[in-house]
Structure 1
Amino acid sequence: MTNDELQILVEKISNQSFHKPFLHKAYFNPRLRTTGGRYMLGSHNIDINRKYLDEHGMDELIGIIKHELCHYHLHIEGKGYKHGDEDFKRLLNEVGGPRHCSTLTSVNNKKRFLIYVCSKCGMDFKRKRKINTRKYVCGRCKGKLKLVKEVIMRGDK
């Protein structure tokens, strides 16, 4: 699906579900990582995460579009457009949009570990974040630490 096809789909859903036109831009944003879509308050544009279409299909994409269109139409009308507002919850329920989108398996199941080894006693340390090896030393013998390798594991194992 291209950005032009997405624009047409968003305009169609806006007219059918909300009975109001969508007058701004909708496009795929490859930088989105943890969310299905985003409504921009300043420009009134809608960004969509393409990974949700690839992993979960058209139904998930339509749900994300409905969710973002709820933010869009309520904000333009000056009503409560935030997740906790009653106007938002009511409109989302009326159009059948999801409150949250599904999780992405390709993003959430990867875990990164860094393995450091003490050059004196050989003790190994598994860390999620990089550490400054000039500043930190082995807790057992005060020896120098050395980064040995970076391991990326799937979260389901």
Structure 2
Amino acid sequence: MRVTELHRENAGEAVDAVFAGLSARSRYLRFHSPTPRLTSSARRVLTDVDGERHAAVCARVGGDPVGIARVIKTAGCGAEIAVAVVDRWQRRGVGRRMLEELTSVAARMGVAELHGDVLHDNHAMLALVKKVLPGVRLTREVDTVHLSYPLAWVTAEITDADLVNSVLGI
């Protein structure tokens, strides 16, 4: 398996291949709603990688895309992350490798903190971020678990809520 940065020129085929390899359940967990097909506007957003405000890495096996992880800058020095691995390759280390590479890409982009929202029942993703992003903050929201992970630990502050969430296993 190779994990490389995705570029605009090859983003379309990778996005299409990964989306096609996701079951309805995996699409729901990734997009937080039933997503039987990608709309043209959603596809445009997913393929609009420029390496400065929106970057992505792609995992390939034998040249075939099996996963995409992306980072999109938000307000300030933060960035949202998202990960998708085709069903056939889930729980084989693909997400871990992509997330590790994505943190390097995000740091190069000047991102100070990663964040994202994960559905409560996406246990695999929650376990992945706990494993790859040690000390990740997980905050239970109404519909999701919000994650935040400072890339610059010097400025990170551990709160009482972080300690309670850690004990509760959130």
Normalising by the smaller structure, the TM-score range is: under 0.3
**Which gives a bigger RCO, structure 1 or 2 (Cα 8 Å, sep 6+)?**
2
TM-score, structure 2 normalization = 0.22
Which of structures 1 and 2 has the bigger CA Rg?
1
Where is the helix percentage greater, Structure 1 or Structure 2? 2
